[in-house]
Amino acid sequence: MKNSTRLFLLLPLLLLQLSAFATTYTITVGDNFYSPEKLDIKLGDEVIWKWQSGNHPTASDNAAWVTFQMNSSSQTKSITFNTLGTFAYHCTAHAFFDNGSWKGMIGSISVKPVTTAAEARLVMPTLSVYPNPSKGMVLVSLGQKAGESYKLRLSNIIGREVRMVALKPETDAEGVPVNLSDLPAGVYFYSLLVNDKVVTTKRLILQN
């Protein structure tokens, strides 16, 4: 099968996957403004311009779309963005070109790649405590992103904090020892805090 034929067959599937994650954004068009003026979206997202007041012919700076009217007779315009990049635009009636760029009533849309759930999990820090169950001495391993502050918080079965351990950058997959032998046997919950915000919580059992 030729590559062009494969691409033709795969394209509808790719567009279908994009639509499943698509989000719709609204830009309000009023008296000499687009709100928000700058908008970040993902590939496959839809943008709707919604008229509020005035007469604002809206043109793409690089001819990405045909100029459309925004007035009392044409109150909405929808465009789905299936190409990465930054799309700047302006109102032809209320913007002017100066020193190589448009000024006045202007806007821009930045289209970024879709981040799947699997990709999001890859960049999330992970925390493991083992052995589990344990008799008191455990190894703490951390898969982390650079430049963050990490802490291990241990809570008892009623949610009261019993231990807080700062995790240093060198706390890698090999693990660092933490002594919990002074705590009574029972069920505990350990949480990973990133910049003082809980990102994951798991159960730990301490035995005599």
Q: How confident is the model at residue 32 (pLDDT cuts 50, 70, 90)?
A: very high
Q: How confident is the model at residue 13 (pLDDT cuts 50, 70, 90)?
A: very low
List the structure tokens of 112. Answer: 């970024």
- Within 13 Å and on the Cβ side, how many CA atoms surround 97? 6
| Whole-number Å distance between alpha carbons of 109 and 50 | 15
- Establish whether domains 3-112 and 124-206 are of one fold: yes
Contact between 135 and 208 under an 8 Å Cβ cutoff? The reply is yes
Q: Does domain 124-206 have CATH number 3.40.50.1820?
A: no
Contact between 136 and 181 under an 8 Å Cβ cutoff? The reply is yes
Superfamily of the domain at 3-112: Cupredoxins -  blue copper proteins (2.60.40.420)
| Whole-number Å distance between alpha carbons of 124 and 150 | 12
Which helix (H) or strand (E) covers residue 12, if one does?
Answer: helix 3-21
Cα-only R_g, the chain: 27
List the structure tokens of 37. Answer: 């003026």
Contact between 75 and 48 under an 8 Å Cβ cutoff? The reply is no
What's the residue count for the chain?
Answer: 208
Give every CB contact of residue 201 below 8 A, 6+ residues apart in sequence. Answer: 189, 190, 191, 192
- State pTM to two decimals: 0.51
What are the extents of the domains in the chain? Answer: 3-112, 124-206
Query: Using one digit for the tens of pLDDT, what is the confidence trace for 58-109?
Result: 999 999 999 999 999 999 999 999 899 999 999 999 999 999 999 999 999 9
Query: Using one digit for the tens of pLDDT, what is the confidence trace for 127-184?
Result: 788 898 999 899 888 776 555 678 889 999 888 999 998 887 655 556 788 899 999 9
